[in-house]
Amino acid sequence: MNNEIPVKDVTRVKIHQPEQGRHEQQDPSRKRIYVRAVQGPLETFRRYFGFIFVGLFALIPWLRYNGQQAILLDIAEQRFSFFSLTLWPQDLTLLAWIFIIAAFALFFVTTFAGRVWCGFMCPQTTWTYMFVWLEEKFEGGRHQRMKLDQRPLDFDKFWRKGLKHLSWLIIALLTSLTFVGYFTPIGELFIDFFVFETGFWAAFSVWFFTFCTYGNAGWMREIMCTHICPYARFQSVMFDKDTFTVSYDPERGEQRGPRSRKTGREELKAKGLGDCIDCHLCVQVCPTGIDIRNGLQYECINCGACVDACNGVMDKMGYPSGLIRYTTETRLGGGTTHIVRPKLVGYAVVLAAMIGFLVFEILTRVPLQVDIIRDRNQLYRETNDGLVENVYTLKILNKSQQLQRYNISVEGLEDHRLIGNNQVQVQGGEVYVEPVSVAVDPYNLESTMQDITIVVEGVDDQGESIEVRTKTRFLYR
């Protein structure tokens, strides 16, 4: 019996490298991506969707409500206004719920339809396409831009490049002014900026975000998506075999190769050719410069540009569309896609729960906050008429946007006397400080340390009564 274990030589491992097509070997645009314009339903939808998104972004800070900017995230005053709702640092839980909901909504959409956020809603993608559109207007189509960059600098090249970069800077500046206008009154910002009276931090923010927008959308472009954005790195964790992504059908497309339009599909099958004619248009229209035919890649932002380009070619060749399409790995393998699955249901349940918590927080939110600070210099004092007196400082925060009147009262002490204003007026969004004293006959005290309740009550914007009851202690000896 042979007890020797056969040993296999693993020092010579044949590594399979993906073959490069003829275009990838010759095309110098692989170092710099020259995005080709494409027409199709997905591209039309993306453009209109982007137009609506940019329009809302530019319009929202100009909306007015009750004579004020409707949405203003005033960091200096620590006050975030959303129409009739004003949030303060004490309402940080509401902002936390909003961010949590946004995160789980992104997870849910990604699990279902891949990186459609990146392809259709991400500001980086929207502004990049906007800058590419301006680039085409001044420098021409893809091949014209490639030839222009290879030419030596002359007057024609100078004015085209100069006007392109000037238009980029103008768009970037308007974008920055609008963005900063969410954090400072936008009407004053525009006026002060163009008459050079803007404060240091406002001016710094405007110029900082201007050059960030200009650099990101004009120069870095796909680098933001492929190397800087963390979402590109971890989004694959949320994918599964039933996630809809932009995919190439290799069973139908391979083997690739050029052919005449007159060549029948039966003849192509006899030659071993698939429907892909290797025109390379799917690569030329890709904003990140990938070849979707190599399979799912983390650089793909699911914009669908290659889908429109390929469908256009298929129509011209007389082939069925859908060689590149939104589909799932399961469906490409001949299986049935399961829309309702545990991961997607889990995200949906958590998302619904988070939305419920946010709605509950908003509905139960009281637009009034009261803080009580005892006088620490003297725990108590005795008055000339024999009463025991404690001094408190009330900080009343009016979280609404309207002037409110509040009544102050004390519960828990028999025959007490409240010294100070028992009715105060507080402007919307202000903190009112009111010192009050509570005096009582010592014979009416049950102990030397007695719990009392200071009640502040008023009427909210809808005419409903609001009341805040804050407990504190009355001390004696």
Q: Is the pLDDT of residue 8 over 80?
A: no
pLDDT tier, 463 (very low <50, low <70, confident <90, very high otherwise): low
Residue 276's CB is within 10 A of a number of other CB atoms, namely: 24
pLDDT tier, 297 (very low <50, low <70, confident <90, very high otherwise): confident
Residues 257, 253: Cα–Cα separation, whole Å? 9
Say which DSSP state 333 is in: T
Q: Is the pLDDT of residue 20 over 80?
A: no
pLDDT tier, 21 (very low <50, low <70, confident <90, very high otherwise): very low
Please check whether residue 437 lies inside any domain of the structure: yes
Please check whether residue 198 lies inside any domain of the structure: yes
Please check whether residue 283 lies inside any domain of the structure: yes
Question: Within this chain, do residues 321 and 189 fall inside the same structural domain, yes or no?
Answer: yes
Question: Which pLDDT value is given to residue 192?
Answer: 94
Identify the CA nearest to 388 among candidates 437, 326, 331, 343: 437
Question: Within this chain, do residues 296 and 431 fall inside the same structural domain, yes or no?
Answer: no
Domain that holds residue 379: 368-475
Question: Within this chain, do residues 275 and 162 fall inside the same structural domain, yes or no?
Answer: yes
Question: Within this chain, do residues 164 and 35 fall inside the same structural domain, yes or no?
Answer: yes
Please check whether residue 244 lies inside any domain of the structure: yes
Q: What is the mean pLDDT of residues 10-25?
A: 41
Q: Which run of H or E residues covers position 327?
A: strand 324-327
Identify the CA nearest to 276 among candidates 225, 242, 314: 314
pLDDT tier, 461 (very low <50, low <70, confident <90, very high otherwise): low
Question: What's the gap between Cα 463 and its chain centre?
Answer: 36
**pLDDT, tens digit (0-9, with 9 covering 90-100), for 377-411:** 888 888 888 899 999 999 999 888 788 899 999 99
Question: Within this chain, do residues 380 and 318 fall inside the same structural domain, yes or no?
Answer: no
**pLDDT, tens digit (0-9, with 9 covering 90-100), for 180-190:** 999 999 999 99
Please check whether residue 301 lies inside any domain of the structure: yes
Question: Which pLDDT value is given to residue 6?
Answer: 52
Q: Number of H helices and number of E strands within the chain?
A: 17, 16
Question: Within this chain, do residues 131 and 237 fall inside the same structural domain, yes or no?
Answer: yes
Question: What's the gap between Cα 300 and its chain centre?
Answer: 19
Q: What is the CATH number of the domain that holds 446?
A: 2.60.40.10
Question: Which pLDDT value is given to residue 169?
Answer: 97
Residues 167, 172: Cα–Cα separation, whole Å? 8
Question: Which pLDDT value is given to residue 70?
Answer: 93
Average pLDDT, the chain: 87
DSSP string covering 185-237, please? Answer: -HHHHHHHHHTT---HHHHHHHHHHHHHHHHIIIIITHHIIIII-THHHHGGG
Question: Which pLDDT value is given to residue 30?
Answer: 42
Please check whether residue 432 lies inside any domain of the structure: yes
Question: Which pLDDT value is given to residue 12?
Answer: 40
Question: Which pLDDT value is given to residue 462?
Answer: 64
Question: Within this chain, do residues 148 and 220 fall inside the same structural domain, yes or no?
Answer: yes
Of 214-228, 265-279, 291-305, the poorest mean pLDDT is in 265-279
Q: Is the pLDDT of residue 292 over 90?
A: yes
Q: Is the pLDDT of residue 326 over 80?
A: yes
Question: What's the gap between Cα 442 and its chain centre?
Answer: 60
Q: Which run of H or E residues covers position 116?
A: helix 116-116
Contact yes or no for 423/407 (Cβ under 8 A) = yes
Q: Is the pLDDT of residue 3 over 50?
A: yes
pTM exceeds 0.75? yes
Question: Which pLDDT value is given to residue 11?
Answer: 38
pLDDT tier, 148 (very low <50, low <70, confident <90, very high otherwise): very high
Identify the CA nearest to 460 among candidates 418, 406, 379, 387: 406
Q: Which of 124-128, 232-236, 262-266 has the highest mean pLDDT?
A: 124-128
Number of domains in the chain: 2
Question: Within this chain, do residues 304 and 377 fall inside the same structural domain, yes or no?
Answer: no
Of 44-58, 101-115, 185-199, 219-233, the poorest mean pLDDT is in 219-233
- Classify the phi-psi angles of 254: left when phi > 0, otherwise alpha if psi is within -120 to 50, otherwise beta: beta
Which percentage of the chain shows pLDDT scores above 70?
A: 93
Identify the CA nearest to 214 among candidates 172, 244, 245, 256: 172
Please check whether residue 427 lies inside any domain of the structure: yes
**pLDDT, tens digit (0-9, with 9 covering 90-100), for 24-60:** 444 444 468 899 999 999 999 999 999 999 999 999 9
Say which DSSP state 88 is in: -
